[in-house]
Structure 1
């Protein structure tokens, strides 16, 4: 029970972090500031934040035309869902 709550907390935080990362990168792009590397955004997606990253892409209209994001973010979402079901499904 406690482990399940911890894992759900991780899922929520990872997705909030993914969403915030996309918003931050969009803000920095507008300001011509220091940007987040795309590799870091993809790492965030594959470590559990893919849904948040996708929501951020749509909400902030950021990276939506990049082919790599069009392909890898949905792949990361599927990967995350499979992991969530395997790890949290029986709890």
Structure 2
């Protein structure tokens, strides 16, 4: 059985990875060279890194006015809140 420790550890790691990806992409945007694609950043956010994405955007001031990126990131956050509400309702109902 998967423990809560493992779940929180995985969520922490994906958020750390997402945060670092935003920082790396910002550095590369300023200095030129290979960049992380917007789809790559959004995929990391979708698979659990939404908090790392928002913290990375705020700290690195990266992609804060970029559309449709901002709208898609917000949609991912809403989707994850919806899923968390369903899962928590399922866990506490039984």
User: What range describes the TM-score normalised by the shorter chain of this pair?
Assistant: 0.7 to 0.9
**Does the CA-based 8 Å contact 2:38-2:69 persist in structure 1?**
no
- 1:47 matches 2:47: yes
CA distance in 2, matches of 1:39, 1:76: 12
- Normalization by structure 2: what TM-score? 0.82
Larger Rg: 2
CA distance in 1, matches of 2:81, 2:9: 15
Aligned twin of 2:36: 36
Number of aligned residue pairs: give it: 91
Deviation at residue 82 of structure 1 after TM alignment: 3.4
Q: Secondary structure at the match of 2:11?
A: helix
Identify unmatched segments of 5+ residues in structure 2: none
Deviation at residue 18 of structure 1 after TM alignment: 1.1
